[in-house]
Amino acid sequence: MNWKNKNVLLTGAGGFIGSHLAERLVYLGANLKAFVRYNSRNDCGQLEYLPDNIRSKFTIIAGDLRDPDAIRKVVKDTDIIFHLGSLIAIPYSYVHPMEVIDTNIVGTTNILMAAKDNEVEKIIHTSTSEVYGTARYVPIDEKHPLQGQSPYSASKIGADMIAYSFYTSFELPVAIIRPFNTYGPRQSTRAVIPTIITQALTKKVIQLGSLHPTRDLTFIADTIEGFIKIAEKEKSIGEVINIGSGFEISIGDLAEKIVRLTQSKITIKIDKKRIRPKDSEVERLLADATKARKMLSWQPEVNLDSGLKKTIKWISDHIDDYKVGMYTI
């Protein structure tokens, strides 16, 4: 694919993954529109960390995914859509489920309707490994049952099904990427790895929720490569594709590894308010990315230790930007 001839819309551009994907698309030469959620501070989220020579090469458009008029306008004259925009915080979905459902399901439907009306070439819809819930078998392939164990995961299941229905009902060229837990520079303490690192660098105690659940962790550069390959491969249309490392580690073991890498002398303690409701906790995630390897020739290149070192370095350099120890829902 010649990206220099493509008009690309990226929703959720101000997020962690979105900001890295925006950067990559600029390097590829795409004509990029970055859609971010409006706020009166003119804050573009993690895009703020991009250097001026990168930010000057794409257009930032503020709005709300739930506004169909705004979406119709931004989708006009677009060739490819990367739809990452959603509310992703699981604890927040316990507090405000309606907002999460409205944004993730209605927002996705608005994108799909506008894409259909404008005959967009391809839509890459972003799912999440959370839709699988606690693994019934491992490794988890794309045929694993979907389990809405939180309002967030239920909303993403709904959005995924609506995206797929537009493929089957209207022949809309939709591909669904399903990343497992992504980490790396610029991630907020909404996620567990920055939560551990920031406390390991500055505190005497690391406060976490449950330590026993396992996660499949993928470095951000590898996840971004998955997005690009799915966009470039025509045969990904109509498919759901896992992007994950195929390696699992418990939160407790992950914390101990980060403590060693930061050379910290610190105690790990459980903070009860950070623990998910019992039946909502996803106990185990371990990806089967066979389809990605065969269909996309994709595989992770960055191992966990190397990725954590890169992430620790970035967070250490930006530690003043973090509210260390504060529980971010």
Please state, for a pLDDT cut of 70, what percent of the chain lies above it: 100
pLDDT of residue 326: 83
Q: 215 by DSSP, 3-state: which?
A: strand
Residue 155: band (very low, low, confident or very high) from pLDDT cuts 50, 70, 90: very high
Residues 69, 117: Cα–Cα separation, whole Å: 13
Average pLDDT over residues 238-261: 98
> Quick check: 288 and 139 in contact, CB under 8 A?
yes
Does domain 189-215+247-283+302-321 fall under CATH 3.40.50.970? My reply is: no
Residues 89, 153: Cα–Cα separation, whole Å: 10
Closest C-alpha to 166, from 232, 100, 115, 104:
115
The CA–CA distances, whole Å, from 37 to 40, 65, 86, 119 equal 10, 8, 10, 24
Average pLDDT over residues 162-185: 98
pLDDT of residue 145: 98
pLDDT in tens, 259-299: 999 999 999 999 999 999 999 999 999 999 999 999 999 99
pTM reported for the whole predicted model: 0.97
Average pLDDT over residues 34-42: 95
Domain 3-182+218-243, CATH among 3.40.50.1100, 3.40.50.720, 3.50.50.60, 1.10.3720.10: 3.40.50.720
Confidence check: pLDDT of 137 > 90:
yes
Residues 301, 307: Cα–Cα separation, whole Å: 10
pLDDT of residue 110: 98
Q: What are the extents of the domains in the chain? A: 3-182+218-243, 189-215+247-283+302-321
